[in-house]
């Protein structure tokens, strides 16, 4: 069971799937909605994919109860994303009571040749709070 996609993730057409090791993989197919300079994926669309992958991977571990709040995201762009399907996979480097440190990579042809990586910190809010104070992926 994989956590439900947010309205943003649905707007972007992200698709959640699993690899051979049962890890969450998010897919993003290329179309005009994701294009930046002609022929290439927009860096912001890629960031959205990597953040969503991070949040879904953390939700899988902590469950649907706690609210996740993004603290920050540092994107490093390594290769240009071209007009192809992009894959993303997150690794939780450390899971604490309140903080998850997550690293995410995106690739197109070969996971060993990532086009971008993200270092993402997420606050895990286990207290029940008014909805307006909360932010989900």
Partner 1 sequence: MLDLPLGADPTVFVRLALARGHCQLLNLSLSHYGDDWCELTMPYAARLAGDTESGIIASGPIFALLDMASGMSIGFANGALKPRVTLDLRVDYLRPAKPGSAIIGRSHCYRRTKSVAFVRGFAHDGDAERPVAQMAGTFMFIEDTPETEQP
Considering only residues 11 to 40 of the shown chain, the ones binding partner 1 according to CB under 8 A are: 11-12, 32-37, 39
Candidate residues 18, 63, 65, 76; the one interacting with partner 1 per rule CB under 8 A: 76
User: Quick one: three-class SS letters along 88-137?
Assistant: EEEEEEEECCCEEEEEEEEECCCCCCCCEEEEEEEEEECCCCCHHHCCCC
Phi, psi angles (nearest 5°) of residue 87: -115, 150
Nearer to partner 1, 25 or 40 (CB): 40
Min CB(73)–partner 1 separation in Å: 6
Member of 2, 17, 74, 91 binding partner 1 (CB under 8 A): 74
As a whole number of angstroms, the distance between CA 115 and CA 86 comes to: 9
Taking CB under 8 A as the criterion, the residue among 44, 63, 65, 111 binding partner 1 is: 44
- Where in 114-133 is the site for partner 1 (CB under 8 A)? 131-133
| 65 is an interface residue for partner 1 by CB under 8 A | no
Using the contact rule CB under 8 A, the part of the chain among 1-9, 15-23, 88-96, 99-107 near partner 1 is 1-9
Q: Nearest-5° angle of CA 6, CA 76, CA 124?
A: 40
Which of these ranges, 3-11, 19-27, 88-96, 99-107, lies near partner 1 under the rule CB under 8 A?
A: 3-11
**C-alpha distances in Å from residue 119, one per residue of 25, 27, 37, 58, 103:** 17, 19, 24, 14, 5
């Amino acid at each position: 069971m994989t956590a439900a996609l947010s309205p943003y993730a649905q707007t972007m057409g992200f698709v959640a799937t699993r690899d051979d090791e049962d890890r969450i993989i998010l897919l993003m197919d290329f179309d005009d909605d994701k294009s930046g300079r002609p022929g290439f994926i927009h860096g912001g669309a890629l960031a959205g994919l990597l953040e969503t992958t991070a949040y879904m991977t953390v939700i899988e571990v902590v469950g649907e109860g706690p609210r996740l709040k993004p603290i920050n995201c540092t994107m490093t762009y390594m290769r240009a994303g071209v007009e192809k399907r992009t894959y993303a996979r997150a690794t939780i480097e450390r899971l604490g009571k309140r903080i998850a440190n997550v690293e995410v990579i995106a690739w197109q042809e070969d996971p060993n040749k990532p086009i971008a990586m993200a270092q993402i910190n997420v606050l895990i809010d286990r207290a029940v709070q008014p909805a307006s104070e909360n932010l989900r992926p």
